[in-house]
Amino acid sequence: MDYEAHPDEWVFAGSRPAVIDFYTTWCGPCKMMAPVVESLAGKYAGKIDFYKVDIDQESELASVFGISSIPTFLFIPVKGKPSVQMGVMQKEDFEGLIDKIKIN
């Protein structure tokens, strides 16, 4: 998504689904989720793009997406609107959300 070119609407330019992990290095729940995200990124390599955004380093980007708590995950299908999930999740629940974006 190019939020500078399209500040008021979601225009996805990727070729496959994506997951964005908004985190900080000092966040305990973020550290708990890191191995889950890494494991699933490996499992879905080449099928789904995974990105990590440190909101302390990328505050403007976090603001654009309205990130107010961490961890926050943005699940982005190729078509349709992204969905947001905040907080710690079980690996199975996280994978269920991934399966939804693969279908869309």
Token readout for 19 is 């997951």
Catalytic residue among 1, 20, 27, 101: 27
| pTM score | 0.85
Q: Hey, what domains does the chain have and what are their CATH numbers?
A: 18-103 (3.40.30.10)
The answer to whether the Cα torsion of 14, 19, 22, 24 is positive or negative is negative
Q: Indicate if 21 belongs to the active site.
A: no
Q: Indicate if 30 belongs to the active site.
A: yes
Catalytic residue among 19, 20, 30, 55: 30
Model confidence pLDDT, tens digit, residues 54-99 = 999 999 888 888 898 999 999 988 887 888 999 999 999 999 999 8
Give percent above pLDDT 90 in the chain. Answer: 59
- Name the residue among 102, 67, 76 with its Cα closest to residue 1: 76
CB neighbours of 75 closer than 8 A, spacing ≥ 6? 17, 19, 82, 83, 84, 85, 97, 98, 100, 101
